[in-house]
Chains A and B, each alone.
Chain A
Amino acid sequence: MKTDISESKALCLHCHYLNDVDDHICKRCESHVSQRKENSFSLTLAFALSSLIFLIPANLLPMMIVTTLGVDDASTIMEGVLYFLNHGSAGIGIVIFVASVAVPVFKLSVIFYLLIMTKIRGKKNLKLAMKLYRIIEFIGKWSMLDIFVVALMVSMVQFKTLATIVTGPAAIAFALAVVLTIIATENFDSRLLWDEGKNGSK
């Protein structure tokens, strides 16, 4: 199969014009062109690892502290999910669990799997890898759901003495973890999966 590497071409990712590999400025839109995203592997790995680190406090520390009549009630993500499951709103519980626990873990596992795949020669499961890549590209932003919910609840419930809601430290850690995974996915160049030979691991 002919590829951009075998034909010495480079695709402009801004306007999708096919340039010669020696052109560093796109002939059509004058943006910067390179054959593969630069430092794709190391950048993706770096952002994915930092995201992994932030996921730990995000799950252990309280996400939101509800004060009702002077009584504090701090809850982590999982406690929030369990609250909904036990109080008859299983639907919302599942939505929050999927968006804030399952999706981030799934995304990071897929990123690490894809990074390993770029280093393996003679692979067979490329169609599956591409499917996984497109899934994480699509669902990435949905992990922000819980952050938005906390943000909205904090700002809407301000009854001073009666009831207040404050964000917990986990909210910042979680938001950072999600943003870092999105940046990691952005930096990943899926063409590395298909490249063979000595150009493949660039």
Chain B
Amino acid sequence: MESSCHECGAIVEMYHTDEDHQLECPRCSAILYRSGQEFTLIIVVALSSLIFFVPSLLLPVLTMNIAGMSQTTSLLQAALVFFSDGYAAIGIVAILTGLTIPAIMLVLIIMILVPIKIGVNPLKVKSVYNLYLHLKTWGMGEVYLVSVFIAIIKLQKMATLNIGLGLYLFTAFLITFYIVIVWFNPNDIWEKNEN
């Protein structure tokens, strides 16, 4: 099938590579095709990732002790402080990009793949698909995770810390989230329909 490179515009012959190889543009070396995994497998991992997500918000991430006073925080509480504090803008950006968008992306992937697996025409999930492509730029879960670690290191200077179960679950959520994003090749939903 003839196509053009989305990064330099050269006309290229498209063919599907196996799982160990990817197709590169001969002119600008953009990745043109990378094989995705089976849809069923992606759905399963996406579901398990969502199962990690919900408790990771509610369970304590950190318990702090300063001079006999102690305070326990969960990710959800940490997010809500901003709205009472008058810095809603930062709070909204941090919650959206760090927590909400990764979770929404997983839900969207399930909403795209389950109907296609059943045999629905991909055109029916077109709007969900386009929304997913837009959100992809704004999912910053991995950055959020690293920032949790940095915040913990910074706080160690001020207080005695105990890491809670929430942090382990959140790490598990992000690892499975990444597996899903890497395995899912959005273009596959159109190609599998044609074959």
| A residues adjacent to B (C-beta < 8 A) | 1-5, 7, 9, 11, 13-18, 28-31, 68, 87, 89, 92, 95-96, 126-127, 130, 133, 141-142, 144-159, 162-163, 166-167, 171-172, 175, 179, 182, 186, 190-191, 193-195
Contact = CB atoms under 8 A, between A and B. Distances in A.
Given A141-B140, A191-B8, A15 B66 contact: no
A75 to B, nearest CB: 12
B93 interface: yes
A18 B90 CA distance: 41
A197 to B, nearest CB: 12
B67 interface: yes
**What interface size band does chain B fall in?**
35 or more
Interface stretch (B49-57, B141-149, B174-182): B141-149
Contact of B153 (A92, A157, A158): A92
B87 A16 contact: no
A14 B151 contact: no
B69 A172 contact: no
Contacts, number: 173
B190 interface: yes
Contact of A159 (B6, B30, B66): B66
Given A11-B6, A92-B150, A194-B10, A166 B85 contact: yes
A151 B94 contact: yes
B28 interface: yes
Contacts of B9: 3-5, 11, 191, 194-195
A31 B126 contact: yes
B171 interface: no
B90 A156 contact: no
B137 A186 contact: yes
B129 A152 contact: no
B10 A1 contact: yes
Contacts of A147: 90, 93-94
